[in-house]
Amino acid sequence: MDKLSESDDIRTSCLIPHDVHVIHPLNGDLLHVLDEHDALSTSNSASKPHISTLNDAIRRSTVIWQMHGAAVLQISSTVALKRDADLDIAHISTLNHIRHHAPSLPIPRTFGVLIDRSRRMYYHFMTYFPGPSLQTHWIHLSDAQKKSVKEQLEPIFQQLRKVPSPPLENGRLTWGSGVPRRCIDTRRWERVAKEEILDEQVFNDFLTTRDRLGHGPWIQMVRSFMREDHACAMTHADLHPRNIVVQIVPHSENDASDDDLTQKDVKVLGVIDWDKSGWYPEYWEFVKALNTIGLDDPMQDWWQYLPHSVGLWPVEHSLDRMIWRWYG
Model confidence pLDDT, tens digit, residues 150-185:
999 999 999 999 999 887 777 789 999 988 899 999
50 and 120 together in one domain: yes
Residue 2 lies in a domain: no
Do 248 and 270 fall within a single domain? yes
In DSSP terms, 73 is beta-bridged to: 63, 81
pLDDT at 214 over 70: no
What is the model's pLDDT at position 258?
A: 60
Tell me which of 167 and 209 has the higher pLDDT: 209
76 and 176 in a single domain? The answer is: no
103 Cβ contact partners less than 8 Å away, ≥ 6 residues apart? none
Query: Could you check whether the bond before residue 103 is cis, i.e. omega within 30 degrees of 0?
Result: no
Query: 27: closest CA among 133, 90, 146, 111?
Result: 111
Judged by average pLDDT, the poorest of 20-24, 43-47, 138-142, 211-215 is 43-47
8 Å CB contact between 261 and 312: no
CA distance between the termini of the chain: 31
Pair (193, 123) in one structural domain: no
Whether residue 101 lies inside any domain: the answer is yes
User: Quick one: 262 and 153 in the same domain?
Assistant: yes
Q: Which of 102, 94, 91 is nearest to 157 (CA)?
A: 102
Residue 257: give its domain's CATH number: 3.90.1200
38 pLDDT more than 70: no
Range 209-216 contact pairs with CB under 8 angstroms and sequence separation of 24 or more: 210/327, 213/326, 213/327
If asked whether residues 173 and 269 sit together in one domain, one would say yes
Count of Cβ atoms closer than 10 Å to residue 226 Cβ: 21
Total number of domains constituting the chain:
2
If you average pLDDT over residues 53-61, what whole number do you get?
A: 92
Entry pTM: 0.88
For residues 280 and 163, is the Cβ–Cβ distance under 8 A? no
Mean pLDDT of 70-87: 92
Query: Which whole number is the average pLDDT over 105-132?
Result: 94
141 and 190 together in one domain: yes
Query: Residues 6 or more apart from 252 whose CB is under 8 A from it?
Result: none
* Domain end position, chosen among 127, 151, 173: 127
Reported as a single tens digit per residue, the pLDDT across 130-151 is 999 999 999 999 999 999 999 9
**pLDDT > 90: what percent of the chain?**
67
283 occurs within a structural domain: yes
Confidence of residue 42 (pLDDT cuts 50, 70, 90): very low
Query: Would you call 219 helix, strand, or coil by DSSP?
Result: helix
In a domain, 198, yes or no: yes
Whether 48 and 177 map to the same domain: the answer is: no
Q: Are 151 and 293 contained in the same domain? A: yes
Which range of 34-43, 110-119, 210-219 scores highest in mean pLDDT? It is: 110-119
DSSP string, 11-64: HHHTPPPTT-EEEE---HHHHHHTT--S---SSSS--HHHHHHHHHHHHT-EEE
Q: How far is CA 55 from CA 49, 89, 116, 244, 268, in A?
A: 10, 21, 14, 28, 31
Is the residue at 111 inside a domain? yes
Which domain covers residue 289, as residue numbers?
A: 131-328
**Mean pLDDT value across residues 181-194:** 91
What average pLDDT does the chain have?
A: 88
| Helices (H), ranges, 87-142 | 92-101, 134-137
Task: Give residue-wise pLDDT tens across range 268-314.
Answer: 999 999 999 999 999 999 999 998 898 889 999 999 999 999 999 99
Q: For residues 114 and 143, state if they share a domain.
A: no
Residue that finishes a domain, picked among 127, 146, 175 = 127
C-alpha to C-alpha distance for 135 and 65, rounded to whole angstroms: 15
Q: Which helix (H) or strand (E) holds 172?
A: none
146 and 266 assigned to the same domain: yes
Lowest-pLDDT range of 125-139, 220-234, 249-263, 281-295: 249-263
Burial label for 172, CB within 10 Å (0-12, 13-18, 19+), is exposed
Report if residue 1 sits inside a domain. Answer: no
What residues are paired with 191 via a beta bridge? 185
123 and 135 belong to one structural domain? no
Examine residue 81 and state whether it is found in any structural domain, yes or no.
Answer: yes
CATH number of residue 89's parent domain: 3.30.200
* Structural domain ending residue among the three candidates 59, 94, 127: 127
